[in-house]
Chains A and B, each alone.
Chain A
Amino acid sequence: MNLALRDVRHNLFRFVLTCLGLGLLMTVVLAMMGIYNGLVADALNIVKAPQADIWVVEAQTQGPFAEASAIPGATRDAVARLHGVAQAGSLTYQTVEAPFRDRTLRLYVIGYERGRPGGPQQIAQGRGLEAGHFELVADIKTGLVPGDTLVLGRKRFTVVGLVRDTMNSGGDPAVYITLADAQVLQTQLAPPAARVQAARGATAPAGPTVAAVIARLDPNVDPQTVAQTVRQWKHLSALTQAEQEDILVRSVVDKARKQIGLFLGILLTVSAVVIALIIYTMTMEKLKQIATLKLIGAPDRTIVGLIVQQSLALGVAGLGLGLVLILLVKDVFPRRVLLEPVNVVALTGIILVVCVLASGLGVRAALRVDPATALGS
């Protein structure tokens, strides 16, 4: 007969309560892992979405995500003419605040050229931009739905479609508008001084600027070769997709990632201590029964089995509960909670190791107990 199971059944209420507590703790750990992944994935998503091979940005910057970048609008034509470039498109990025009903939405506005790379990838609801002006496609997390209208700058835009998981590294959800609209928005929102200067035509820039030009290459063309060509041009620099992702992870996401990573570490340590404590206490409460088992002749194997099996059951039940809970609540979080199977596997591994180590403490105490202690009344 399985003593661990019998004991659990006998103290079922307490065991369930303990599992519940542990399960909640595991939920927090899993949430933290999910937030950590979500942060990285979201940040990379905005870079991956355009499916570019090359990013052409302002010279000496790591734009447009890590640093501001402004290049002449005409750059796109030059890039498109390069040998090996299949498609090129201009993009602008700006963060704006827009009143909507009784709230203020903080939006990451992406301007792109329809029919060229850089637009929304998969429309989750509604449609993509069809008119040249005043339509927008928004991330679902903005809370907007197709048919809503909102004012950006001085113009009223209509929401025509929704996308998912598109936001900047700060978590501001994205909206896509046409490049033409975005450039107008840029001048409308420019600082007054700059606007005055522009009106006087004093230092008028050579036409509207864009933040970056992305290029998709022909098959079998080496991105580095093309990037090298662009770098020789005045005022321009080029990054391959891999470099751009790397910059984003290192410069933009890194601090937040370390912060969450450290917190996750603390959380795991706390969980380990809590689990160890629960299992140790569980064993200490059973010392008299363990002494009785020894007295009636049970071998150490039986006693070790009782402790280890119970602690593993506790760990697995807690983890299972945590997993169910996080899957239930993960969409309530304002930012993406992304759980990879590898995280679950890793956490399972950690918890199992902790359980075994913790039961080691209990087992030590149990094996030391003198069978005679069972006789004291």
Chain B
Amino acid sequence: MADDRRRVLVEVQGVAKHYGTGDARVDALRNADLKVHAGEVVALLGPSGSGKTTLLNIIGCIIDPSEGRVSLDGERVFDNRWLRHDLRRLRLDKIGFIFQAHNLLPFLNATDNVALVLQLAGKSREQAQARAHELLEYLEVGHRARAMPALLSGGEAQRVAIARALANSPRIILADEPTAALDSTRAGIVIDLLRRLAAEQDACIIAVTHDDKILDRFDRRFFLRDGRLVPNSADAG
């Protein structure tokens, strides 16, 4: 259950996104409102093309909205037409992204893929390596620390990608179908892992998913239909 006394990490107000103009105009997202608190694990559901990725990418500062307000961890990043400019730094510090395709850099081994974001954030080589190892151990892929991404199994690669998303202890973790490449059991394990992280790091997690079997593991569920966001009736209140 949402606890309004807790800190609001993600606040989306009246956000809309449309692509193209005139007849070619697509309203990917209309007037979406969303508040996610620290420690919460939230699911985004909806049919294909309903705007889930669009919403997630707006929260992740990967695309900018056409209208509305977005605040992350108390900081305005989009206010109607005003957009904070160093979004990449913000992403590095506050947001951890877990993509559907793991998006590991093929030329770096598992450890270095994780260490890279730590070094980009200003950690020394040694610090970065140590923390990367620690994270990989924590995600139970420590034994694959030296392996190149091409040699990792789907599940291993996804864990390394999660380790990377968590490296800088972000307050906001966004996951676009993180379990699509996994079977239900493994998917459950990953979500449980994310829940544990949210609790331990006081972070929030927003995950897009299709998998009905893992829905009960989320604190709240939001449905998207034709770009409109509707909270699940069971969670409303």
When chains A and B are docked, how far (Å) is the Cα of A372 from the Cα of B100? 12
**Which of A11, A295, A299, A372 has the most chain B CB atoms inside 10 A of its CB?**
A295
Known: A297-B89, A299-B120. A377 touches B107 (CB 8 A): no
- Chain B hits for A122, CB < 8 A: none
Q: Mark B91-109, 1 if CB is under 8 A from A, else 0.
A: 1110001011101011110
Please give the distance in Å from A312's CB to the nearest CB on chain B: 18
The contact of A10 among B100, B120, B121, B148, by CB within 8 Å, is B148
In Å, the complex CA distance between A294 and B106 comes to: 15
Size category of the binding interface on chain B: 20 to 34
Chain B positions 12-33 with a Cβ under 8 Å from a chain A Cβ: none
Contact present for A295 and B107 (CB under 8 Å): no
Find the A residue at minimum CB distance from B148. Answer: A10
Which of these, A9, A293, A375, contacts B105 with CB under 8 Å? A293
| Residue of chain A at shortest CB distance from B56 | A375
Is residue B217 contacting chain A, with contact meaning CB distance below 8 A? Answer: no
Q: Which one, A6, A11, A375, contacts B57 given CB within 8 A?
A: A375
Min C-beta distance of A255 to chain B, whole Å: 52
Could you say which residues of chain B place their CB within 8 Å of the CB of A243?
none
Contact B88 A377 (CB under 8 A): no
Q: CA of A293 to CA of B93 in the docked complex: distance in angstroms?
A: 14
Question: By the criterion CB–CB under 8 Å, are A7 and B107 in contact?
Answer: yes
Chain B residues, Cβ within 8 Å of A372? 57, 62-63
Contacts of A316-338 to chain B: CB distance below 8 A: none
CB distance from B19 to the nearest CB of A (A): 12
Q: How many residues of A contact B (CB 8 A)?
A: 22
- Any A CB within 8 A of the CB of B119: yes
Q: Are B91 and A296 in contact (CB under 8 A)?
A: yes
A371 to B121, CA, bound (A): 18
Q: Does A292 contact B (CB under 8 A)?
A: yes
List residues of chain B with CB within 8 A of the CB of A9.
107
Tell me if B125 counts as interface (CB < 8 A to partner A).
yes
Chain B residues with CB under 8 Å of A199's CB are none
- Asked if B70 CB lies within 8 Å of chain A CBs, one says no
Q: Contacts of B117 on A, CB cut-off 8 Å? A: 296-297
Shortest CB distance B64–A (Å): 11
Contact of B112 with A by CB under 8 A: yes
Q: Evaluate contact between B107 and A11: CB separation under 8 angstroms.
A: yes
Asked if B164 lies at the interface with its beta carbon under 8 angstroms from chain A, I say: yes
In the complex, what residue of chain B is closest to A4 when comparing beta carbons? B107
Binary CB contact string for chain B from 110 to 145 against chain A (1 if under 8 A, 0 otherwise): 001001110111000100000000000000000000
Q: Is the CB of A289 within 8 A of B105?
A: yes
| Given contact pairs A6-B112, A377-B100, A295 touches B106 in the complex (Cβ within 8 A) | no
A296 touches B116 (CB 8 A): yes
**B53 at interface, CB cutoff 8 A:** yes
A17 contacts B by Cβ under 8 Å: no
Q: Complex formed: what's the CA distance from A6 to B99 in Å?
A: 23
- In A276-309, the 8 Å CB interface with B consists of 289, 292-299, 302
- A10-B148, A294-B88, A372-B63 in contact; A302/B101 too (CB < 8 A)? no
A293 to B103, CA, bound (A): 9
Q: Contacts A374-B99, A375-B53, A375-B57 given; indicate if A298 touches B88 (C-beta within 8 A).
A: yes
- Is A3's CB within 8 Å of the partner chain B? yes
Nearest neighbor of B108 in chain A, beta-carbon distance = A6
Question: How many residue pairs, one in A and one in B, have C-beta atoms under 8 Å apart?
Answer: 71
In the assembled complex, the CB of B130 is this many whole angstroms from the nearest CB of chain A, namely 14
Chain B: CB-nearest residue to A297: B92
Per the 8 Å Cβ criterion, residues 1-20 of A in contact with B are: 1, 3, 6-7, 9-11
Quick check: B99 and A375 within 8 Å, CB to CB?
yes
| B176 within 8 Å of A (CB atoms) | yes
Contacts of B103 in A (CB 8 A): 292, 295, 374-375
Q: Give the chain A neighbours of B92 by CB distance below 8 A.
A: 296-298
Do B120 and A377 touch across chains, with their CB atoms under 8 A apart? no
Closest chain A CB from B133 CB (angstroms): 15
CB distance from A220 to the nearest CB of B (A): 70
CB distance from B99 to the nearest CB of A (A): 6
Q: Which residue of A lies closest to B167 (CB)?
A: A296
With A10-B148, A371-B62 known as contacts, the answer to whether A3 contacts B107 (CB < 8 A) is yes
When chains A and B are docked, how far (Å) is the Cα of A372 from the Cα of B174? Answer: 14
Q: Bits for A364-377, please: 1 = Cβ < 8 Å to B, else 0.
A: 00000001101101
With A371-B62, A377-B101 given, is the CB distance from A297 to B107 under 8 Å?
A: no
B88 near A297 with CB under 8 A, answer yes
Tell me the nearest residue of chain A to B90, going by C-beta: A297
The reply to whether A10 and B164 contact each other, CB–CB distance below 8 Å, is: no
Q: Say whether, besides A1-B116, A296-B92, A302-B120, A375 and B100 are in contact (CB < 8 Å).
A: yes
Report which residue of A295, A296, A374 has the largest number of chain B beta carbons within 10 angstroms of its beta carbon: A296
Given contacts A296-B164, A299-B88, contact A1 B57 (CB under 8 A): no
- Chain B nearest CB from A12 CB (Å) reads 10
Q: Which 5 A-B pairs have the closest CB atoms?
A: A297-B92, A10-B107, A7-B107, A377-B101, A297-B91
The residues of B with any CB-CB pair to A shorter than 8 Å are: 53, 57, 62-63, 88-93, 97, 99-101, 103, 105-108, 112, 115-117, 119-121, 125, 148, 164, 176
What are 16 A-B interface contacts by the 8 Å CB criterion? A1-B115, A3-B107, A3-B108, A289-B107, A296-B91, A296-B97, A296-B117, A297-B90, A297-B91, A297-B117, A297-B121, A298-B120, A302-B120, A372-B57, A375-B53, A375-B101
